[in-house]
Chains A and B, each alone.
Chain A
Amino acid sequence: MLPQKPDNDPFKVPAGYFEQLQEQILARIDETSAPKKKPAKNKFVMLKPIMRYAAGIAASVALFFLFTQSYEQRVAKTAQTQTPDYEVSSNLYMAGMNANEIYEYIASGDDSSYNFYEEN
């Protein structure tokens, strides 16, 4: 037969042990400061989509500036190579156009066919 369950716990502890144990446990807990969180990883995971959006916006802005700059450069280059009005009028006069026709042509701004600096 199984012996009857002991009335008293035969395992004893030194006097004042449990008070000391509680202090030791709480001291160890305070050393660890806070429950182990996974936030370090979680924060990063949470930041990931934000970082993705930020990278997307940055790329868009960079492309915008790159495109705008190259467009401005092209305009500036065209401006530099644009034929002065007096040369255009002189050439048109030489081509047989009268003053009114020359004025209308210059006012329209289409001088591409007279861009001698580009073509010649």
Chain B
Amino acid sequence: MDSLTQRLKNPDTRREAFEELVKTQSQNVYRNVRRMVYDHEDTNDVVQNVFLKAWLSLDSFRGDAQLSTWLYRIAVNESLTFLSKKKKEMSVSVDETDLAQTLRSDTYFDGDDAQAKLFAAIATLPDKQRVVFNLKYFEEMKYEEMSQVLNTSVGALKASYHFAVQKIEAYMKQHE
């Protein structure tokens, strides 16, 4: 158990240690959530909820996994919950082509057309497969760690990533 985890476990140092956790991890958490929900305002809400959930469940963190892995897990769950709620609220699904267009016109997106197309392609993946793809492709997370975050076997994750790549390649080819 590292020093920060120990301080988080101690009620006397918990608040101060958590402030440190927020400062060191908020950008990582934001980046991961943003790749799932895309919109900045939505990401802002989800990230705040992630840290609030983390704070409220500190007692249940046993320290077996790394703090960052634990936070990833909460971030993934919160993102999936948000996307599920959003899908229920929206009667019509957003077309991927529209999404690429939306991204290009977004003030807080400065990627080129190829990047906008890539994120539109990623958006076509089922939510859980999207998580697998993002963690592997962008974060370059090892399957073993990913297995801890997603509570899924390494074999299943490898297969999921393989199919995700195939789908994205097919999308990119189709939209050349």
Contact = CB atoms under 8 A, between A and B. Distances in A.
A, B in one complex: yes
Interface string A6-39: 1001111110001001101110110010011100
A35 B34 contact: no
Chain B contact patch, size range: 35 or more
Contacts of A29: 15, 18, 51-52, 55
B165 to A, nearest CB: 6
A53 B130 CA distance: 57
A1 B55 contact: no
Given A28-B52, A32-B56, A35-B58, A3 B108 contact: no
B30 A22 contact: no
B108 A11 contact: yes
A24 B19 CA distance: 11
B165 A36 contact: no
Interface in B50-87: 51-52, 55-59
Given A9-B31, A35-B58, A2 B23 contact: no
Tell me whether chain B's interface is mostly helix, strand or loop, or mixed: helix
B145 interface: no
Nearest to A12: B108
Best-buried of A22, A28, A35, A36 by chain B (most CB within 10 Å): A35
Given A21-B44, A25-B22, A11 B109 contact: yes
Contacts of B108: 11-14
B52 A3 contact: no
A77 interface: no
A12 to B, nearest CB: 5
A26 B22 contact: yes
Interface of A: 1-3, 5-6, 9-14, 18, 21-22, 24-26, 28-29, 32, 35-37
Interface of B: 14-15, 18-19, 22-23, 26-27, 30-31, 34-35, 38, 40, 44, 47-48, 51-52, 55-59, 107-112, 114-115, 118-119, 137-138, 165, 168-169, 172
